[in-house]
Amino acid sequence: MASHTTHPHKAPLGHSIPSHRVLGWCSHCPDRSLAEEVMAWQLDAQDRHAEEDADGPFGAATQWETCPECGYVGALSVVEITVRTTTGPKKAGGWKYCLNCEAVPQEAVCAGS
């Protein structure tokens, strides 16, 4: 936190409260620019997304197979969704879809059960 703020949810008059709350400063602070603030927000967003993506409770895996309907090789996307639980990963669902003939193989309707 910057030394010129007294409370994490307050900012000097005319300054950005969200910037002071998250970054500890804003572009109205001495020796700071708007470009610096924009870059700081972008870096903050990248860090948050990296944290969310790195160890989230859900996972997805996609395999490409031969479609049983049209026989086109590599056109059937087989997606499996997993969720992490205290006992380990569990299959939560999924689907199959052919990009060539738009078929949805019947066994995919009951995926996850």
* Model confidence pLDDT, tens digit, residues 31-87: 999 999 999 999 988 887 776 665 667 788 899 999 999 999 999 999 999 988 778
Q: From CA 111, how far away is CA 94, in angstroms rounded? A: 6
* CA distances, 7 to each of 15, 20, 28, 41, 44 (Å): 13, 9, 17, 20, 20
Q: Does 20 have pLDDT greater than 70?
A: yes
Is residue 90 within 8 Å of 111, Cβ to Cβ? no
Average of per-residue pLDDT across 13-17: 90
H or E element: which one contains 47?
helix 34-54
User: What's the pTM value of the predicted model, to 2 decimals?
Assistant: 0.45
Q: Does 103 have pLDDT greater than 50?
A: yes
Q: Does 97 have pLDDT greater than 60?
A: yes
- For residue 4, the model assigns a pLDDT of 46
